[in-house]
Amino acid sequence: MDIQRVSNTIQEALNAQMTREAHAAQIYLSYAAWAADNGFDGVANFLFRHAGEERNHMMKILEYVLQRNGKVKVTAIPAPDADPKNLNDCFEKVLKSEIENTEEIYKLVSMSMAEKDWATWNFMQWFVKEQIEEETLALNLLAKMKIAGGENAKGDALYAIDRDLANAPDDARSAEDVTTADP
């Protein structure tokens, strides 16, 4: 009896999504390092924490594949893009990356629906909701940047944004605390 509870197609897509979440973590790590290097310690702290969240997303998918008696495939993670040109560019890149990730998640939702794999469909709803939050976060950062002058923001305005992010609540959790039942 085949006890694998996800199809090979869904399993492959979940494994690919796992790598994409790891890639997202690398992207946030690289932008965080860039921010720290440019004196934006508040932004760096925020992005470092977010890298941890992305890793948790990766772990959540890994755990789900195992739970469904599937095979986890850990592969190489693509390198992040070039460093941002400025803070506005950094937040634009964050938004772009989140939107691309949302689109991939929607594909998985569509696939699971087409296969009537309701377990995976249900599992993926957590990610659909999470992406709304993550896109909102990035959109809010860009909205603040726009008020501060966008690409031309400088001085006090940049300082204020950096200080705001330094004081942003830390809701990231460590990977070992994350389970599919309690993400």
Residues that bind ligand FEO (CB under 6 A): 21, 24, 54, 57, 98, 101, 134
State in angstroms the smallest separation of the CB of 70 from ligand FEO. 20
Decide whether 15 or 101 has the Cβ nearer to ligand FEO: 101
For 175, other C-beta atoms within 10 Å of its C-beta total 16
State in angstroms the smallest separation of the CB of 87 from ligand FEO. 19
* Alpha carbons 29 and 122: distance in angstroms, whole number: 30
State in angstroms the smallest separation of the CB of 160 from ligand FEO. 25
Using CB positions, name the residue nearest to ligand FEO.
Answer: 57
Cβ distance 77 to 21 under 8 Å? no
Decide whether 104 or 115 has the Cβ nearer to ligand FEO: 104
State in angstroms the smallest separation of the CB of 101 from ligand FEO. 5
Decide whether 21 or 117 has the Cβ nearer to ligand FEO: 21
Q: What are phi and psi of 70, to 5 degrees?
A: -90, 180
**Virtual torsion, Cα 106, 111, 113, 114, nearest 10 deg:** 140
The residue ranges of DSSP E strands in the chain, in sequence order, are none
HSE-CB for 89 with a 13 A CA cutoff: 11
Cβ distance 35 to 44 under 8 Å? yes
State in angstroms the smallest separation of the CB of 81 from ligand FEO. 15
Decide whether 50 or 153 has the Cβ nearer to ligand FEO: 50
* Interior/surface letters 27-48, b for 16+ CB within 10 angstroms, e for the rest: bbbbbbbbbeebebebbbbbbb
Decide whether 81 or 151 has the Cβ nearer to ligand FEO: 81
